[in-house]
Structure 1
């Protein structure tokens, strides 16, 4: 089914994929393999599922949908064969294959096949190319196969020690890349998208796409002949920083650390006895060093500049509890605020992201002193800039300047982040 609830146009899909082959000139002598495959698929797509079928399914489209369900729900090959047999028995006129292997061969013609490669279980080596006929691993010497005797339970079979069935210890399913890249250029819609970076991309100095980044430009200058052909694809090219780092996970850690420390939440705060002893060991922030009592039984921790009173923590939680957000911007963050306990918990990754970008600045700026609040607000702005859909090179240079965050390190414990 397509996005509108209608049946997929398999015939149209094939013509999109192989349309250039279908329009062969009459003078061509013979058909190449791609052309033969196209006409074979078109013939299959045109076969009726059953006589006078009006459901919109062809023989090929019905099998593709069944195969898709098999993959989605993890049906075994045997169960798939049993289903085909049952359908054929219940509806004798149904024009479908009678086994999984026959159905798979139909789908294979679409170019969705994979290559099986034997591999050692510890991933030492692949049995391919010059190693394809090896039976033991050249790294560790272990066997390529699981030695399993084939037996039906009779004493004779147990006696034949050399009667074994070779079962691969581990198999890698490799989906060849080149045929899939070729198919991308067979469809007019995807062909246009693959050329978009050169023909339609806005080139105004802002970074919106990997083609705007320096890594792309460096590759073009290093391989000028490659870059001249706009249809050449760059796979695995290093992207901008927000794509190289797991920004959402980093934001989650930072928000947890900030909220846990400001609200002094047990097991989440970064301002604990161990952190204070670390400051003492490093010989910095002497005003925060732990102080032992005269009897040596207790340790006192001085109040830090970012420490909040119970009243301030209540105000902090109250702001987040009562805040109203536009529909669709974030989930109901107020449900995560426990105002009586002066704690926040239960918020998810997107809530971390939204609070860091838009919400934390409000209670932080209204409660904490400027020398603590301003660096935290700038830290929030840093991530907001980093995650923009477009950013200029001037803004990137500003983001790279870490001097604004020096006060964060001066005011908070060393392991805040």
Structure 2
């Protein structure tokens, strides 16, 4: 079919005639109840609409960019009614067929096999055949599998109990006798069907004190071998003999880890010819122009390929990233309960571990990571997988490139404590802190060491902390250096363990990830999260500029720290005759009028629909304050709105470095990164932070401000930040929280999701 009309004016006669031909073809071939998937720019083949509305959308908005091969509208099919009738049996269940394939990233796999599919592939294709079975004789809307999946989805979304779900099945079978053969009898039979999809959950009992898992050689133990705590809720059990321990105990476990195997879901990515070809995209189709659009363009990716040439030979081998965070399944901040999901992303989210609360595992998270690490070791060796694009079996391997998490979780996964004097994991043992005795906190300044060797700021004592700076930036900490520092240290895990050896610097443990054979050679093992760093930097800047109580970093104690350091005499507190202390206005302190101007700009700014939330709801001009900002609000403020609002307030030497700081985050978060620009950003952020040191008090420079110095380096090594920040992870966990009002049904909610 001629498609040149797509690029003509949507008001032209050629476009209208071509559109009518397209609609005739689509409604002849793939219409369902008089509707088709609308391929306009807004609907993106995601909504079923009738002919009139679809035509209106395609005239007003135009076709989805890049959608020139109309596979979803059966372009290759004949438009004759005869052929449609010949394929009627397939089209009756086309909706469920697509639903099953979409759920697992699988498209049409019909055709002869060059090789016999392996057992897992056979099982999956058998399931697709079952998807074509009628719900009852003559049913044109539902197949058996489609109805069961839809019903199970309603159960999870509606928080039905297992008993009420079984009662509903019984009622349906009683009311509609034709459903007797196709519908399962109970919830447990439905679970078996869902389990056949490979979405099984392995439950592993754990010590309530996070000491150990009851698996492998400890599978039948009933008492923790570290703290002697009972495996079950009844309490501690002493003096248990072998005869009793061999009896299967039906008591309730005190803590249960839910583990969702990773290998079956990775294998399913290759059971679709389309998705399987996408798994080679980074090698075959990725744009190679010197810029970084994807992690495959990064030095880290290329270094991994050089160090593991056998792995790199097959472009189908999978690279993974692991994310971890805690959330409350009760959807309320008043309940001190934290559940820790661990999920993989490449290219979909795969929940692998659900670590129970109520308290987070902390450094004991390595105990719960053991099943995942074992599976990652197996994936490094490889697992036989069927590739639908080549119709051959191959040995699929997978490797973990990095972790993605907020700063507290960074400490739990890396083993380096992110608190205290040496809180920065990239500066490592290099001293970059100063303890503020009046503010009772550590500040992290001395950013002059990141400047070029002969930069004039290095010898400027008066504008900074009264000292010259001759040190160079800290050396990058490699995996071999970590293992050399930790040696053969053996750490015991558990809340009640107090006899662990003292480790050098800020080390708390040797991370379990070093059990992976390739982990020590990874250039970047743990990512700093740009989302949370940007949010905290924005909160500090706005809180200090507006003098918000509890958020400002300019207060009496911070001024007394200046007295102790003997710098910035103009900001020292002044004792009045009455005995009260007066704090002179700082150059960054806004007057009441400036605050009103600043907040008025934020209150009245207009942005495109869907670009950001309603930030004006957080702004109060009287009193002068801003509160209730979400992470994405801070993102928009920092990169777009704050530079505009600052132009009419504050002296030039104050607003200029603040605007440069905003510009740094905006360029850092670009979808396409130029390595040369990142080298420039590394130099500029060092100069910007030094300029801020000349303006703000030392208490302003907490660890989050300091971490900004390392973000450009990590982007230069690992590629665009939107593959390595927490925005999609947080959104996914929010979805998990919405699913899990009843904690006991968490695993089935994640199954159906």
Deviations 1:190-209 (A, max 9, x none): 21222111111112222221
Relative distance call for 1:113 and 1:207 in structure 2 (3 A) is same
Given that residues 213 and 239 in structure 1 are in contact (C-alpha distance below 8 angstroms), is that contact kept between their aligned partners in structure 2? no
Relative distance call for 1:119 and 1:5 in structure 2 (3 A) is farther
Relative distance call for 1:39 and 1:321 in structure 2 (3 A) is closer
Tell which has more relative contact order, 1 or 2 (C-alpha 8 A, sep 6+): 2
Distance 2:548 2:209 in 1: 44
Given that residues 404 and 529 in structure 2 are in contact (C-alpha distance below 8 angstroms), is that contact kept between their aligned partners in structure 1? no
Compute the RMSD of aligned alpha carbons. 3.2
Shift of 1:319: 3.0
Contiguous gaps of at least 5 residues in structure 1: 149-161
Aligned equivalent of 1:154: none
Shift of 1:186: 0.7
Aligned equivalent of 2:215: 128
Given that residues 19 and 186 in structure 1 are in contact (C-alpha distance below 8 angstroms), is that contact kept between their aligned partners in structure 2? no
Shift of 1:245: 3.0
Alignment of 1:125-204 (within 5 A): 125-146=212-233, 165-204=250-289
Q: How many residues align?
A: 399
Given that residues 215 and 239 in structure 1 are in contact (C-alpha distance below 8 angstroms), is that contact kept between their aligned partners in structure 2? no
Alignment of 1:15-414 (within 5 A): 23-24=112-113, 33-34=119-120, 36-38=122-124, 40-54=126-140, 56-94=141-179, 95-146=182-233, 165-236=250-321, 237-238=401-402, 244-295=527-578, 297-401=579-683, 402-414=686-698
Relative distance call for 1:198 and 1:108 in structure 2 (3 A) is same
Aligned equivalent of 1:155: none
Decide which moves more: 219-228 or 70-79: 70-79
Contiguous gaps of at least 5 residues in structure 2: 1-31, 38-45, 50-92, 236-246, 322-400, 407-525, 702-753
Shift of 1:62: 0.8
Output the TM-score relative to the length of structure 1. Answer: 0.85
Given that residues 147 and 165 in structure 1 are in contact (C-alpha distance below 8 angstroms), is that contact kept between their aligned partners in structure 2? no
Distance 2:552 2:234 in 1: 56
Given that residues 201 and 259 in structure 2 are in contact (C-alpha distance below 8 angstroms), is that contact kept between their aligned partners in structure 1? yes
For the pair shown, which has the larger CA radius of gyration, 1 or 2?
Answer: 1
Which has the larger share of helix?
Answer: 1
Shift of 1:231: 0.7
Given that residues 539 and 551 in structure 2 are in contact (C-alpha distance below 8 angstroms), is that contact kept between their aligned partners in structure 1? yes
Shift of 1:381: 0.7
Distance 1:238 1:293 in 2: 56
Decide which moves more: 120-129 or 316-325: 316-325
Aligned equivalent of 1:159: none
Relative distance call for 1:93 and 1:141 in structure 2 (3 A) is same
Decide which moves more: 372-381 or 122-131: 122-131
Given that residues 120 and 126 in structure 1 are in contact (C-alpha distance below 8 angstroms), is that contact kept between their aligned partners in structure 2? yes
Given that residues 105 and 268 in structure 2 are in contact (C-alpha distance below 8 angstroms), is that contact kept between their aligned partners in structure 1? no
Shift of 1:38: 4.4
Given that residues 612 and 633 in structure 2 are in contact (C-alpha distance below 8 angstroms), is that contact kept between their aligned partners in structure 1? yes
Alignment of 1:2-17 (within 5 A): 3-4=46-47, 9-12=95-98, 13=100
Distance 2:296 2:641 in 1: 33
Shift of 1:217: 1.9
Relative distance call for 1:392 and 1:107 in structure 2 (3 A) is same
Shift of 1:134: 2.6
Relative distance call for 1:138 and 1:19 in structure 2 (3 A) is farther
